[in-house]
Amino acid sequence: MKIGFIGLGIMGKPMCINLIKAGHELIVYNRSQSSVDELVFLGAKAAKNSASVGKECDVIITMLPNSPNVREVTLGENGISDTAKTGTVVIDMSSIDPVESKAIGAELKEKGIDLMDAPVSGGEPKAIDGTLSVMVGGNKAIFDRFYDMLMCMAGSVVYVGELGAGNVAKLANQIIVALNIAAVAEALTFAQKAGASPDLVYQAIRGGLAGSTVLNAKAPLMMDHKFAPGFRVELHIKDLNNALNAGHAISAALPLTSQAMEMMQVLKAYGYEKEDHCSLVKYYEKISDIELER
């Protein structure tokens, strides 16, 4: 299958590599040329802009930072809609505001282009090994048509509902992940402040009800102070902001999400926004006046 792919960042590039490994023909575009060159070396074809991708491909994946970027490459100058044929499918795998997903989808539909929102969870490690979780909103027949292609990048691909539902599911995921990371950081710093070994506490509780993927993935990184980004604080701030905006639009109360957002804003103020979101432990270290250790 010939696939267009726009957005070759920390997630998009390894996703492209997995599509190439699966035998798909890729036409790629990214503002940064180095990622394009790497994928061309692996067999992809470079496009000069989003419109060029739209002209050559009947299905196009976008993996971009936020809603304005998706709008720009789909509907902006030299965007996909300038050249795409009627019946073209855009699969937006970015994590954006579901309200904007619906708005972009409606405008593309007027031009004969179908949009699915298909955000992912799992961060860079799962993008690399092709085991992302994908949550898809849009037309069910289109979902069925591209399910196998999406599975080339994923461990699970789940249809959630109509357009926008994919990003609703992703924002729900990001709320849960943020609050879990905060809970792990709070519990481990509490343990150390109380005179217990955080590592032994972690070993003791990981097999019980408190056990979780977040606990197992993030607790060791917190204790070892390894904050190289799998998912950056600044991206989680973006997702929580989208969640709060969507929640406000429908009068859904998100008090814990608001608190997690403020903690992450503190990290940003200290210059930690490029670090992994598990650096949320630094917030607790500062207010508890300790440095977490095993």
Residues that are catalytic: 170
Going by C-beta distance under 8 Å and a sequence separation of 6 or more, which residues neighbour residue 129?
Answer: none
User: What gap in Å lies between CA 120 and CA 170, rounded to an integer?
Assistant: 7
DSSP summary character for residue 90: E
Distant-in-sequence, close-in-space partners of 237: CB < 8 Å, separation ≥ 6: 261, 264, 265, 268, 273
Cβ atoms within 10 Å, residue 254:
17
Contact 129, 153 (CB under 8 A): no
Rounded (5°) CA angle 96-99-102: 95
In one letter, which amino acid is 95?
Answer: S
Nearest-CA neighbor of 224 among 178, 268, 188, 262? 188
Amino acid at 94: S
Q: How many residues in the chain?
A: 294
- Helix (H/G/I), strand (E/B), else coil: 3: strand
Which residue's entry shows tokens 């920390």? 10
Quote the longest CA-to-CA distance of the chain: 65
